Structure 1
Amino acid sequence: MAESQNQWDFGELFSKEEARRVLSVSELTKKVKRQIEEGIGQIWVEGEITNLRRQSSGHIYFSIKDDNTQLSCVLFRGVRMSQRDTIEDGQKVVLQGSLTVYEARGQYQLIVKTVELQGIGALQVQFERLKSSLNGEGLFDTARKRKLPSINERIGIVTSLSGAALRDVLHVVQRRQPTLEIVLVDSRVQGVGAETEIIKGIEWLNSWARNEPLDLILITRGGGSIEDLWAFNEESLARSIFSSVVPVVSAVGHEIDYTISDFVADFRAATPSAAAEIITS
């Protein structure tokens, strides 16, 4: 049986006739470079960014690493992408590009063409970008925010009927203002498509308020990870809150959690219970 040949067998760099030829460092480096560029081509690779340096030339140099090794990378000035200004040390990324050898150092490196941010880092970048964009449009302007009624007689709540947030709100209402009328709209508050259900709840309550008095709308849920709360960071929900004729109170997560919905709402409460305290004061 013929012995299989490894496709990365660098013995192929040299013919038998060349086996005893002494090469200069430059000649050897060029041969290795050609073998890498022709033999590997375009690749995808994942890792964590480290040692990132932005040069005055516009080029960005960095490495990606895993537990065992590092790979040098370069993102040239001419490669246009939104991530150029947001990538930083510590981010998990998937890169697409081509391997080559930087001949002056005899060091192989990745010429980056595409950057995909991964995990929480990617969500945080997406959050900051949308926050900046909507703020620039004026959706967060305090001048347009409406004061809440000093006395509320009827409110709408959009949340999960089985969630802890609703139980917390109702407990406070029962203690402080048991006569408060509540119009409940059941909605998922987590997962793909949850923002669509919340939007429908806001729209339904606005439609209902055209014929019946409604003092405000509360959108709320309990705490969770950034992924759990992500429905409240969707642009479509932010614009729905902004367009609501009825004032909107956002009470999402714990005191340290901030969502896009919090910034665009007429009032942000730190927790569901805090929202209920304010509404019934």
Structure 2
Amino acid sequence: MNRITPMVLSVTQLNTYIRSVFEQDPHLTQVFVSGEISNFKNYYRSGHLYLSLKDEKSVIKAVMFARYTERLRFVPEDGMKVIARGRVSVYEATGQYQLYIEDLQPDGVGALSIAFEQLKRKLEAEGLFGKKKQIPKYPERIGVITSPSGAAVHDILTVLGRRYPAAEIVFCPVAVQGTEAAPQIADAVERFNRLNCADVLIVGRGGGSLEDLWPFNEESVARAVAASHIPVISAVGHETDFTICDFAADLRAPTPSAAAELAVPDRMELAAELRGMRQRLNQAIESVLSDAGRRIDQLSDSGVFRNPAERLEQRKQVITQFSSALNGHMSRKIQSCHTILSSESGRLNALSPLAVLSRGYAVACDENGSPIGSASKVRKGEFLSMKMNDGNIDCVVENVRMRKKKRSEAGVL
């Protein structure tokens, strides 16, 4: 019996062989695997996604290359239940088998629904849905962004023409479905703002499936609407349909027709309001005129109009009384001032040196006219001037006699 000599393989040869076995197995070339995402990694530069799929008992590694990730409508997250379609093969470098994913769908909830919620959370966290602008009460120009062939544009134009024909309508036709719709809608909003050719914008379309309405859930549309300095009314689908555009807009309308009603006032209501204002104005004018007439009648019946001369005599009498009282007060005030002046003059005169001289006294002055306060300052033969009350006497000193000081003056106790 011949025995087969075993072959010695390199690691690479072994992994390559195992890989070929996997790839030749028809059960592994296309499989659908349900599991929960874990260890998710998104390599943004390459576009590849790396993750693991697990259930209660097992885990398998998986990779999704960039050429397949471009078709994803949502961003995978850890903990998300998904169904993956792909093939099972071996990565030769590590000898590890893994799932090569070609398509990925949420398990139980549609990809578009998840993408909607993910984008909504992202933009809400940025504050994109926060501040809302006021819709003008009487817009002069209304911008309409929708399909030229749908029922929405007909409904909008009909309602605007019926409610407020004074407004000018600026229409910008765009695609509202398909891959070209979102860029066209965003560009139309930016163009209206750039040209500043509307006071309010209506953006929307009629009803449809989630796929049909999806352009209004694109991030580019939401950011263009939120950045608009012109107030935007979103009118997408029917009353139960909600889009990201609705949250980014300044006002959400349940239908395109309702958007037109919210954008402009009703001319019939305005006419009724004007009639009411006119009536109230007329009543106010009549009330003012009636009050003025009663006031004139009261003034006409007053004494000043019936006998104005008597009224003037009364005023003259009052003025005369005030004048007499003022003159009396001024006379008493002047007399009081004279009395005070005489008293103060007498006191000043009593202190005047001239009053002393008038009683027979004289003041001795030196040749410079300065008073001499002591005999010790005078010398024999010195020239003096004696100042009297009615003139001066010039004299020469013949002798100086000093008076002896008393003991008290000398400081002896």
Same fold (TM over 0.5): yes
Whole-angstrom CA distance in 2 between matches of 1:174 and 1:270: 20
Aligned to 1:178, the other structure's residue is in SS state: coil
Q: Tell which structure's C-alpha radius of gyration is larger.
A: 2
Aligned to 2:76, the other structure's residue is in SS state: helix
Match of 1:147 among 116, 127, 134: 134
1:94 maps to 2:79: no
- Structure 2: unaligned runs, 5 residues or longer: 4-16, 39-50, 70-74, 91-96, 266-413
Amino acid at match of 2:85: V
Per-residue deviation, 1:47:
4.1
Q: Is the 8 A contact 2:23 2:29 kept in 1?
A: no
Which residue of the partner structure matches residue 240 of structure 1? 224
Change over 3 Å in CA distance of 1:87–1:36 after alignment to 2: farther
Which residue of the partner structure matches residue 222 of structure 1? 206
Amino acid at match of 2:217: N
Per-residue deviation, 1:150:
2.1
Taking the TM superposition and a 5 Å limit, the aligned residue runs for 1:1-281 are 38-41=20-23, 45=30, 47=32, 49=34, 52=35, 60-62=53-55, 74-76=59-61, 83-85=76-78, 87-88=80-81, 93-98=84-89, 111-112=98-99, 114=101, 116-118=103-105, 121-141=110-130, 144-209=131-196, 212=197, 214-281=198-265
Whole-angstrom CA distance in 2 between matches of 1:59 and 1:278: 50
Aligned to 1:83, the other structure's residue is in SS state: coil
Whole-angstrom CA distance in 2 between matches of 1:242 and 1:54: 34
Change over 3 Å in CA distance of 1:75–1:40 after alignment to 2: closer
Q: Is the 8 A contact 1:217 1:247 kept in 2?
A: yes
Q: Is the 8 A contact 1:221 1:272 kept in 2?
A: yes
Per-residue deviation, 1:232:
0.9
Whole-angstrom CA distance in 2 between matches of 1:115 and 1:128: 24
| Structure with more helix by fraction | 2
CA deviation string 1:217-271 (max 9, x = no partner): 1111011111111111111111111221111111111112111111111111111
Per-residue deviation, 1:204:
1.8
Change over 3 Å in CA distance of 1:152–1:217 after alignment to 2: same
Change over 3 Å in CA distance of 1:139–1:97 after alignment to 2: farther
- Structure 1: unaligned runs, 5 residues or longer: 1-16, 18-34, 64-71, 100-109
Amino acid at match of 1:177: Y
Amino acid at match of 1:87: M
Per-residue deviation, 1:96:
4.7
**Over aligned residues, Cα RMSD in angstroms?**
3.8
| Structure with more strand by fraction | 1
Amino acid at match of 1:224: G
Q: Is the 8 A contact 1:45 1:94 kept in 2?
A: yes
CA deviation string 1:108-143 (max 9, x = no partner): xx94454733498222222222111111111111xx
Whole-angstrom CA distance in 2 between matches of 1:54 and 1:192: 29
Aligned to 1:85, the other structure's residue is in SS state: coil
Whole-angstrom CA distance in 1 between matches of 2:54 and 2:180: 38
Amino acid at match of 2:76: Q
Whole-angstrom CA distance in 1 between matches of 2:146 and 2:37: 45
Higher RCO by CA contacts (8 Å cutoff, separation 6 or greater): 1
CA deviation string 1:80-117 (max 9, x = no partner): x95243632xx654245448xxxxxxxxxx94454733
Whole-angstrom CA distance in 1 between matches of 2:31 and 2:169: 50
Change over 3 Å in CA distance of 1:78–1:272 after alignment to 2: closer
Q: Is the 8 A contact 2:143 2:172 kept in 1?
A: yes
Whole-angstrom CA distance in 1 between matches of 2:99 and 2:234: 41
Which residue of the partner structure matches residue 20 of structure 1? none
Amino acid at match of 1:262: D
TM-score under structure 2 length normalisation: 0.46
Aligned to 2:143, the other structure's residue is in SS state: strand
Whole-angstrom CA distance in 2 between matches of 1:243 and 1:149: 18
How many positions carry a matched residue from both structures?
224
Q: Is the 8 A contact 2:236 2:254 kept in 1?
A: yes
Per-residue deviation, 1:202:
1.1
